Structure 1
Amino acid sequence: MTRSHGRGLPGLAGVEHVGFTVPDLEAATRFFTEVIGCELVYTLGPFRSDGTWMADHLNVHPRAVMQRLAFFRCANGPNFEVFQYESPDQHPVPPRNSDVGGHHLAFYVEDLEVAVAHLRAHGVTLLGKPTESTGPSAGQRWLYFLTPWGMQLELVSFPQGKAYETSLDQGGGGGVRLWQPELPDHSQQ
């Protein structure tokens, strides 16, 4: 059955994966599995082309080589497709949020303080201290941190929900609720 809302992509079901490039796939695999807790599902590669396939299909330099890629499953949310490339025109510094193309990955955690302590114990660079959001995001706490190669990540937690949800519960706010992870029910323990 094709889903259609009268606008956008016909059949859109959600975000299947987020892809990003790292300088060292082995080191990134250790970080995502041992520190974050993702599961490595599979790897493949290398891929290269003597023609223009890489430029035509992936918008990278024609002589770029995708050394390897790995797919990770990180609890409840989109999968990660993580690449290691070699390219004559490669820019080795990750973009900041303020750069065009800047981005970050946010991990929802049940207890922000416990997760922050875990990152500290693993020597992860934390950016500032946990921050409490205001406005429609009130009820949310968050903290940015960096991977060993400088990619920006975030911890986020809002166990009691966010302020904007109150208007939804009262029939306002356009009726759209942001995606949230399904948390385990600990009440039976």
Structure 2
Amino acid sequence: MFSQTISDGLPGLRGVEHIGITVPDIDQAERFFVDTIGCERVYSLGPFEHEDEWMKTHLGVHPRTVMRELRFYRCRFGPNFEVFQYEAADSQGPYPRNSDVGGHHVAFYVDDFDAALKHLRSHDIEIMGEPTQSSSHSLGQTWIYFRAPWGMQFELVSFPNGKLYETTSAVKLWHPARPAE
């Protein structure tokens, strides 16, 4: 169980509500999130554009940028995804790598790693290398990175019997199959 004795941090924090992702083609992203991953589309909004500095002030983008559409997806027991397609008013660099500032990936936990990996391969998803068996504190975990059709990195991860650190740590990492622990 999560320790409620922590005194610092956001009052009332419950966890991650959503992860925002910008994609070049929102229909392609929907096929990925719905058909490949198994999320459900909940709703969409847009377009949004402003003639003033609103986009710069509130979103940190060029003021003439247009947010063409955003779509929200629910993915079972994890955080929701807010997926954007923008028409940027200025140039965009390449996707950041994990080693770059701003680099990132999203990991999907699955109960049956082999079945999930086979599923990704059946959808022609780019798999990065071979499955890795973690060691040290993460012993018991299997993982592999894969890329969405637009190049963003995701991870498939499973540790149905737990990780080694759980045998000695008073605090456990949140687990989607055991959210109350």
TM-score range, shorter chain: over 0.9
Answer yes or no: is the 8 Å Cα contact 2:66–2:89 preserved in 1. Answer: no
Name the counterpart of 2:45.
Answer: 44
How many angstroms does 1:5 deviate by? Answer: 3.4
**2:175 matched to 1:180?**
yes
Name the counterpart of 2:156.
Answer: 155
Higher RCO by CA contacts (8 Å cutoff, separation 6 or greater): 2
What's the secondary structure of 1:88's corresponding residue?
Answer: coil
Q: Which runs of 4+ in 1 moved over 2 A?
A: none
Superposition TM-score, scaled by structure 1 size: 0.89
How many angstroms does 1:88 deviate by? Answer: 2.0
Answer yes or no: is the 8 Å Cα contact 1:19–1:82 preserved in 2. Answer: yes
How many angstroms does 1:8 deviate by? Answer: 1.0
Q: What aligned pairs does 1:58-97 form with structure 2 within 5 A after superposition?
A: 58-91=59-92, 93-97=94-98
* Cα RMSD for the two superposed structures: 1.4
Superposition TM-score, scaled by structure 2 size: 0.93
State percent identity of aligned pairs. Answer: 59
How many angstroms does 1:93 deviate by? Answer: 2.8
What amino acid does structure 1 have at the position aligned with 2:76?
A: A
Hey, what's the Cα distance between the residues in 2 that align with 1:155 and 1:42?
26
Gaps of 5+ in 2: none
What's the secondary structure of 1:160's corresponding residue?
Answer: coil
How many angstroms does 1:35 deviate by? Answer: 0.5
How many angstroms does 1:73 deviate by? Answer: 0.5
Hey, what's the Cα distance between the residues in 2 that align with 1:92 and 1:154?
23
Change (3 A) 1:150 1:45: same
Q: What aligned pairs does 1:108-127 form with structure 2 within 5 A after superposition?
A: 108-127=109-128
State the aligned residue count: 175
